[in-house]
Structure 1
Amino acid sequence: MTTEHAGRRPVPPVPRLKDQAARLRARAHARGEEMSASQALEALARLMGAPDWNTLRASAVKGPEGAPLEAEEKVWARYMGSDPVRAKVLRVALGEKPGLWRVQIQFLESREGKNLSPVHLSRERVQADVDGAGVSVGRLSSGIPHLALELR
């Protein structure tokens, strides 16, 4: 899942890139030079061999190494036993326990299902810890997972 820019080493995730740009900006300020946040991002991109920040950001790793899915990916999701609907992955991070991934998704369609209360139907975004198969550890009393994602 790592991506490389111009045949070089993998490009870190965007939050790490932004931290690096902030340190670059702080060093510039320590030397008495003015540098805006956007100038720091552009300078970092050039240092890493990209023509600009947008190109560097597009080539950045989208989620933790080994995650079963990545941010911006479109998936089919079942929430609380609903019929499968299209959803967009907003965020992927390491879960609280080994082998789990904290995933936040946004539903792109309305949901229907016998287990959904009006509160569940109104949710546009859901966060859950899922295993490598995309199934949440949290379950309804009937044993149905809170969230089940159909992975590629």
Structure 2
Amino acid sequence: MRSVAEAKEQAKALRAALEAEGVAINHAQSLEMVAKQNGARDWNTLHAQLMRNTPDPLRLNQRVRGRYLGQPFAGEIIAIAVMGQNYEVTIRFDEAVDVVESEHFSNFRRQIRAVVDLDGISPAKTSNGLAQLVVEPETR
């Protein structure tokens, strides 16, 4: 078990599997079962352990790289807010990114604000079904 999100997904799957067998439990009960399956006394204990062991993948002033609307970028996180299991990030690109695929005109962006999950992938999709933003820490 690596993260709170993974534990919650496991609890959701456990609840669905038990429900399919005719055993109804609530979400809190499934979280408690997952905690015990993973060697913790209760859900609060497991949650605290996972939070302690899970570094924030994204943070203020962090150098990042990735793809925005299909275009590669490098830049810096200049603002960040935690929104449940997501982050709202503002990224300033090192070089402006052309967000238009047309050969007839361009639209350059130097800074964006978007929501990404803990893996740095936006839930918002482009018309071709790809994530609008994929961001990851820059390694040196």
* Equivalent in the alignment of 1:81: 70
Structure 2 alignment gaps of length 5 or more:
1-53
Query: After superposition, what is the alpha-carbon deviation per residue over 1:56-102, rounded to whole angstroms, capped at 9, x for unaligned?
Result: xxxxxxxxx964211111111211011x221110011023xx31110
Residues 135-146 of structure 1: matches in 2 within 5 Å? 135-146=121-132
Is 1:106 the counterpart of 2:92 in the alignment? yes
* 1:112 Cα deviation after fit: 5.2
Match of 1:131 in 2: 117
Query: Residues 99-147 of structure 1: CA distance to partner in whole angstroms, max 9, x if unpaired?
Result: 111000000024357747723xx21110111001111111101111111
So what's the TM-score if we normalise by structure 1?
A: 0.48
2:113 is paired with a residue whose SS is strand
TM-score by length of 2: 0.51
For residues 75 and 139 of structure 1, the distance between their equivalents in structure 2, rounded to whole angstroms, comes to: 20
The aligned amino acid for 1:75 is V
Aligned-pair RMSD on alpha carbons? 2.4
> Which amino acid letter does the alignment assign opposite residue 128 of structure 1?
A
Matched residue of 2:112: which SS?
Answer: strand
Aligned residues: 83
2:124–2:132: 8 Å Cα contact kept in structure 1?
yes
- 2:88 partner amino acid: R
Structure number with the higher strand fraction is: 2
Q: 1:129 corresponds to which letter in structure 2?
A: V
How far, CA to CA, are the matches of 1:106 and 1:77 in structure 2?
12
Change (3 A) 1:101 1:66: farther
CA contact (8 A) 2:78 2:92 kept: yes
Unpaired runs of 5+ residues, structure 1, are 1-64
**CA–CA distance in structure 2, aligned partners of residues 150 and 115 of structure 1:** 23
